[in-house]
Amino acid sequence: LTHRGIIPVEDSHCVSGCGAVESAQHVFISCSIFGSLWPLVSSWVGSSMVTAQTLSDHFVQFTTSAGGTRARRSFMQLIWLACVWVVWTERNHRLFGGSANSSLLMLDKIKTFSFRWLKAKSCTLALNCHSWWSSPLLCLGLV
């Protein structure tokens, strides 16, 4: 929007308050606020940290960080998409609603969304929400 002259340059800063110019790469990976979510998610799912600097590389590294089986990659894709969804909606809530959630609350939303998405895909899937929050790979039999 700045590039096209729709908004002035001074209004193009990240809504997290970190002071950087907003871009997709910044918001989803390198922002000190939104980017701090990735280590929390990696810790939750028990995967290694991703150090990629582009969105496409981040997606590939993240989805393979929990191991190489197809089921694990599918699970990690679901988690990556849930993260992106939560960050994007949080960004919009901050921009348009003036509200801000902590990284821990955003992590809770990722856990909730991913659980609900899996349950919606397979209503016969025997998942316990509390177990999901503590060990999602174990719940899916991927450990």
Range of the domain at 61: 32-140
* pLDDT tens for the chain, residues 1 to 143: 677 877 777 778 898 988 898 889 999 999 999 999 999 999 999 998 898 989 999 999 999 988 778 888 999 999 999 999 999 999 999 988 888 999 999 999 999 999 988 888 776 666 677 888 888 888 888 87
Q: Tell me, yes or no, whether 48 lies in a domain.
A: yes
Q: Tell me, yes or no, whether 11 lies in a domain.
A: no
Q: Which H/E stretch holds residue 18? A: none
Q: Tell me, yes or no, whether 110 lies in a domain.
A: yes
Q: Tell me, yes or no, whether 88 lies in a domain.
A: yes
Indicate the burial class of 45 (C-beta count within 10 angstroms; 0-12, 13-18, 19 or more): buried
Q: Based on the structure, what is the number of domains in the chain?
A: 1
pTM for the complete prediction? Answer: 0.87
Q: Tell me, yes or no, whether 62 lies in a domain.
A: yes
Q: Tell me, yes or no, whether 4 lies in a domain.
A: no
